[in-house]
Chains A and B, each alone.
Chain A
Amino acid sequence: RKEVEQDPGPFNVPEGATVAFNCTYSNSASQSFFWYRQDCRKEPKLLMSVYSSGNEDGRFTAQLNRASQYISLLIRDSKLSDSATYLCASYGGSQGNLIFGKGTKLSVKP
């Protein structure tokens, strides 16, 4: 089992829709989790950090379920500009590095 797994999508949704992505992780010692956004031919950029049960920032909500070892990202009232690939990452235990999922591609259509 890969350490961090995501549904690759693509998720094709209309403007204004609510969309949710899930990400599972295998290292139960992981303490910190992140959602990164990556635009085409660009570098990943941090969207949200998740250290405890969840985090909310405007239209974006991230939640952590330790019992089931997954994190989720909810995007409400999606905009055309939300179209991108969303990468989740797990920072675990004694390791100093982030482990990334392969990303979920979101396409918001007018």
Chain B
Amino acid sequence: DAGVIQSPRHEVTEMGQEVTLRCKPISGHNSLFWYRQTMMRGLELLIYFNNNVPIDDSGMPEDRFSAKMPNASFSTLKIQPSEPRDSAVYFCASRTVSYNEQFFGPGTRLTVL
């Protein structure tokens, strides 16, 4: 079975540019999570969805960040405009509601110059 799929795997962009990260959860999973990981702050939850509905976005740093889940098999995390402090690894994870284990995607390593 395919795991959580993320694209791109690496992204290098310049400050001020728009960045869009993509995630395809595991088929049948109805909860999706976006995390950001840095050395200083560790793994932080940004937002999560249940059945395509955003449940908790309190971890989204500021209005420059937005996330959507238009259907059960696709989600995007957008940063506009990007800043150097957004440089991090962004992970997407999914799970079924009835199981607590979250499965992580391989991550997108974002560098904002």
Contacts and interface: CB of A to CB of B under 8 A. Distances in A.
Interface of A: 32, 34, 42-46, 49, 87, 91, 95-103
Given A95-B56, A96-B31, A42 B45 contact: no
A96 B55 contact: yes
A43 B45 contact: no
Nearest to B103: A46
A85 B97 CA distance: 27
Contact of A43 (B48, B91, B97): B91
Between A45, A91, A97, A99, the greatest number of chain B beta carbons within 10 A of the residue's beta carbon is seen for A97
B113 interface: no
Contacts of A103: 42-43
Chain B interface main SS type: strand
B105 interface: yes
A34 B101 contact: yes
A97 B104 contact: no
Contacts of B50: 96
B45 A97 contact: yes
Contacts of B106: 42-43
Nearest to B92: A43
A102 B107 CA distance: 17
Contacts of A42: 106-107
B42 A99 contact: no
A34 B100 contact: yes
